[in-house]
């Protein structure tokens, strides 16, 4: 290599380092293990927990319990795989999900496999959180002032979106750590309020646990839809590598140890939120439970208002966690591929445009429950349930019929069934809801 070539290569390295220091995922690597805990809680516990009693009402006690427990175990296992694979390439950190895919499948194929799915998840979640935030604000308004003039859901989604036009300009993950912490605390709080208020209501003589649908076809498609709702509830995998990228790491002290510590704490909190909410909420309301259990709760009014306020705070943080992955992907493409300068103006335009896009789509298509099931099956099942297992098999190549090989293939089978069945039920649900829907109502 000539002196000129060495100089050019050195300049390229410096440019790449400068870009990495600007991008939201890699600009700060000072996070502690507890950052992992509350970031993962914020990413995982969101709109999905509110629909678990509704999913139970579609599956029944036995199947509902099996699906919830199996999903908790499988997703914890695949999350462990992703944490382990973060530094599987010596001397390199795989800071993004698509980089893990590229390590397994090649530079181009890895991008084609991972990026569309990850973007679908992250953008889909942000659209849904626009709807969730708006619905919770509307519930607060309706509960606090039942005699006031009813307002359109569209107005509340607009109000909810306003905060994101400001928060979206936080530069990186660590800069939103306080927002994420508050979101994690409120997620535990409103989950506790949800099942606590259900206990307060009690099981009345009118509660019916028979299937929601009157026909066999309706029951089958309803169960398929419920699978997608459960899959949506376990959504944190799509940003786990990006969260791990914010931690310092050395050969002596790899980041996988504090990251895994945070994940364990997060999954304990997930269990505390999910299982009581699903079982107690279903026990209290039976087949009549709404797709968002906080909509079903009517009294005490002050508690319902507080719970919905907590939901609003939580989905503000969750929106930012998932949006940060999108911001990193878009800004990486514009700066590294399209050679735009990494400036504040570029960030202002891209992030403001993104928030406006998710706002528009959220106002236009607020089919809350149907969208949960569709995105849960179509996108979350691959990236959460079986893509980590496929990558693990491709890279580590465990011996055929060994424990690792069998475990991964069981997870892959479960995930593929989810991906096929859940969208079928969700599409039917969306079609039924859309019949009577008026745009921007």
- pLDDT band for position 27 (50/70/90)? confident
**What is the predicted pLDDT for the residue at 259?**
93
**Mean pLDDT, residues 258-266 taken together:** 93
| pLDDT at 375 (0 to 100) | 65
* CA-derived radius of gyration, the chain: 22
Confidence of residue 367 (pLDDT cuts 50, 70, 90): low
Nearest to 238, CA basis, from 159, 311, 307, 329:
329
**Per-residue model confidence (pLDDT) at position 14:** 47
Is there a contact between 376 and 229 (Cβ–Cβ < 8 Å)? yes
CA–CA separation, 201 vs 193, rounded Å?
12
pLDDT tens sequence across 43-87? 888 767 888 999 999 998 999 999 999 999 999 999 999 999 998
C-alpha dihedral sign at 296, 70, 81, 419: negative
Inform me whether the pLDDT recorded for 203 exceeds 60: yes
- Residue 16: what pLDDT? 58
Rounded percentage of the chain residues whose pLDDT exceeds 90: 35
Percent of the chain scored above 70 by pLDDT? Answer: 90
Higher-confidence position of 15 and 320? 320
373 close to 229: Cβ distance less than 8 angstroms: yes
What is the model's pLDDT at position 68? 94
The pLDDT, as a whole number, for residue 438 is 62
* pLDDT class of 194 with cuts at 50, 70, 90: confident
- Quickly state the pLDDT bin for 7 (edges 50, 70, 90): very low
pLDDT band at residue 143 under the 50/70/90 scheme: confident
Q: What's the whole-number average pLDDT of the chain?
A: 85
């Amino acid at each position: 290599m000539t002196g000129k070539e060495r100089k050019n290569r050195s300049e390229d390295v410096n440019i790449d380092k400068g870009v990495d220091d600007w991008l939201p995922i890699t600009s700060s690597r000072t996070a502690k293990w507890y950052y992992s805990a509350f970031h993962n809680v914020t990413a995982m516990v969101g709109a999905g927990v509110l629909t678990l009693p509704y999913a139970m009402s579609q599956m029944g006690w036995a199947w509902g319990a099996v699906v919830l427990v199996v999903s908790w175990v499988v997703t914890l296992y695949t999350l462990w795989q992703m944490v382990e694979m973060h530094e599987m390439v010596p001397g390199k950190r795989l800071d993004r999900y698509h980089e893990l895919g590229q390590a397994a499948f090649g530079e181009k194929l890895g991008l084609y496999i991972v990026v569309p799915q990850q973007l679908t998840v992250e953008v889909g979640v942000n659209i849904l959180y626009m709807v969730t935030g708006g619905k919770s604000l509307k519930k607060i308004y309706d509960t606090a002032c039942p005699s006031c003039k009813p307002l359109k859901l569209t107005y509340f989604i607009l109000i909810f979106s306003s905060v994101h036009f400001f928060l979206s300009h936080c530069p990186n993950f660590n800069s939103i750590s306080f927002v994420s912490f508050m979101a994690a605390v409120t997620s535990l709080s409103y989950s506790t309020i949800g099942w606590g208020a259900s206990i307060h209501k009690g099981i009345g003589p009118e509660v019916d646990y028979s299937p929601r649908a009157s026909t066999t076809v309706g029951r089958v498609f309803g169960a398929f839809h419920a699978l997608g709702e459960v899959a949506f509830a376990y959504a944190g995998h799509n940003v786990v590598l990006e969260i791990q990228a914010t931690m310092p790491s050395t050969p002596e002290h790899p980041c996988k140890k504090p990251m895994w510590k945070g994940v364990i704490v997060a999954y304990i909190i997930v269990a505390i939120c999910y299982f009581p909410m699903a079982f107690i909420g279903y026990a209290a309301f039976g087949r009549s439970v709404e797709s968002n259990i906080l909509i079903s709760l009517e009294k005490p009014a002050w508690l319902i208002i507080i719970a919905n306020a907590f939901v609003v705070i939580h989905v503000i943080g969750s929106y930012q966690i998932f949006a940060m992955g999108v911001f990193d992907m878009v800004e990486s493409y514009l700066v590294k591929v399209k050679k735009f300068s990494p400036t504040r103006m570029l960030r202002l335009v891209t992030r403001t445009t993104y928030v406006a896009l998710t706002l528009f789509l959220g106002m236009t298509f607020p089919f809350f429950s149907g969208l949960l099931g569709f995105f849960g099956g179509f996108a979350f099942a691959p990236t959460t349930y079986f893509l980590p297992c496929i990558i693990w098999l491709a890279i580590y190549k465990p011996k055929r019929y060994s424990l690792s090989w069998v475990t991964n293939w069981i997870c892959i089978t479960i995930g593929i069934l989810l991906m096929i069945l859940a969208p079928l039920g969700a599409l039917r649900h969306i079609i039924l809801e859309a019949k009577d829907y008026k745009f921007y109502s």
